Amino acid sequence: MRDDKLSEITNSPARVRILEIIGEKGSVSFTEIKRETGLSTGSIYYHLYYLKDYVARDADRRYSLTERGKRLLEKMGMKTLVKEEISLAAKFLSIITLAPILKRTTQSKQSCVTTIILALAFGSIANLYSASNQFLLSVPGKDIIDPIVSTIVTGWLLTFILAELFSFVATEVKIGGELELFTTIALSFIPLYIYSYVSNFQYSSSVLVPMQIWSAILLAGGLNISKGVKLTYSFIFSLIVLYLSIYIWFTI
């Protein structure tokens, strides 16, 4: 394996930790990896993609090391993982993307489903109240279709489809983290829903752009956490969605 490809594994604490867990236990389930690492479903699938030459999955969906994986782990000496220092920039990104909240709400299926229901109910009521339709990250006050339908279909589901396609292109991972992605997208719309509630107030238009930008930032953070897409690529995706939303705003 090329040195640059190998460094993508050995320089990643998460990937080294996954190798260690499998090496220690011999054979592990996906749930065990998630419990031991604390990573989201999408992130684990993303890291396992990079480890595909070193980790194999059997018919029972359990993961074990290949011969190459065993040799790599021996080469690393099963060393104890050194916790990385978090830079000030990383801490700032964690705050503005609400990463701790997104991670907590995607810890289990129950928390995901509960969050989705509450967020979409909040958004449906907000758009119904303001008689607005949602198209991605835009909520123009125009009654084209039912506000509730637009919240779920042209807002939530449409954004999910675009995010899923982008994730596949960026990571080449076909499945994994769909429920977490559903959840984080629903949460990323909260700033837009807040705008819908205040849209009838004077000077409310001045609030729209900051709320759209914040939603785009949350969308990037959610894609990173749920699907394991690099944050740089996640921000590129959110900018594409934001510009597309602005275009829709001015054309409908």
Both tokens assigned to 186: 């629903």
At residue 29, the 3 state secondary structure works out as strand
Read off the pLDDT band of 87 (50, 70, 90): low
- Sequence-distant contacts of 91-100: CB under 8 A, at least 24 apart: 93/221, 93/231, 96/214, 96/217, 96/221, 97/217, 97/218, 97/220, 97/221, 97/222, 97/224, 98/187, 98/218, 98/221, 99/221, 99/224, 99/225
Compute the distance between CA of residue 166 and CA of residue 232 in angstroms, rounded to an integer: 13
Which residue type sits at 112?
Answer: C
Residue 89 pLDDT: 63
Residue 165 pLDDT: 93
Q: Domain ranges in the chain?
A: 3-76, 88-251
All residues at 6 or more sequence positions from 82 whose CB lies less than 8 Å from its CB, including other chains: 13
Residue 4 pLDDT: 55
For residues 245 and 138, is the Cβ–Cβ distance under 8 A? Answer: yes
SS3 per residue for 134-192: CECCECCCCCCCCHHHHHHHHHHHHHHHHHHHHHHHHHCCCCCCHHHHHHHHHHHCHHH
pLDDT tens profile 172-187? 766 677 888 999 999 9
Which residues is 29 bridged to in the sheet? 62
Least confident of 4-18, 65-79, 167-181: 4-18
Residue 128 pLDDT: 92
For the domain with range 3-76, which CATH number is right: 1.20.58.1030, 3.40.50.12780, 1.20.1250.20, 1.10.10.10? 1.10.10.10
Compute the distance between CA of residue 191 and CA of residue 207 in angstroms, rounded to an integer: 10
Mean pLDDT, the chain, rounded, equals 84
Compute the distance between CA of residue 56 and CA of residue 65 in angstroms, rounded to an integer: 6
Residue 26 pLDDT: 87
For residues 127 and 139, is the Cβ–Cβ distance under 8 A? Answer: yes
Residue 218 burial by CB count (10 A; 0-12/13-18/19+): exposed, middle or buried?
A: buried
Q: Give the DSSP letter of residue 108.
A: S
Compute the distance between CA of residue 42 and CA of residue 188 in angstroms, rounded to an integer: 17
Compute the distance between CA of residue 42 and CA of residue 24 in angstroms, rounded to an integer: 23
- Tell me, yes or no, if the pTM score tops 0.95: no
Both tokens assigned to 55: 């980790």
pLDDT value at 81 more than 50: no
Find how far residue 130's CA is from the centre of its chain: 29
Residue 159 pLDDT: 96
